[in-house]
Amino acid sequence: MNTEELKLTDNAISHIAQLLQMAILTGTDVMDNLRSATFVAHEGTVDVHPDYQETFQEGIQRMVDAVQDVTSNEEDTDE
């Protein structure tokens, strides 16, 4: 059994907080969000895998864009 001690980076901790927030906002199970996350170990630390983090941020941006589109369409119909 590998007993190497690893610490989460601030970036990894922040990402876990984002996953919790995402679960709350979307009404999804936080466990599903956590299972989808990928991490890397480097010199005694655990950080978010760069490719996963990029994909995650792109997904958030798509959601923000979709909300802005809906909001913009609602404003157009109110006029």
Residues 6+ apart with CB under 8 A from 9: 45, 46, 47
Confirm whether 11 is domain-assigned.
yes
Tally of structural domains, the chain: 1
Q: Which range is least confidently modeled, 16-30, 45-59, 61-75? A: 61-75
Give the Cα separation of 66 and 60 in Å (integer): 10
- 27 occurs within a structural domain: yes
Give domain status of residue 1, yes or no.
no
Task: State which residues form the domain around 62.
Answer: 7-78
| φ and ψ of 75, to 5 deg | -65, -35
Give the pLDDT confidence of 9-50 residue by residue, as tens digits: 999 999 999 999 999 988 999 999 999 999 999 999 999 999
User: Does residue 23 belong to any structural domain of this protein?
Assistant: yes
pTM higher than 0.85: no
Query: Is the pLDDT assigned to residue 72 strictly greater than 90?
Result: no
Residue 2 lies in a domain: no
Phi first, then psi: give them for residue 28, nearest 5 degrees.
-100, 165
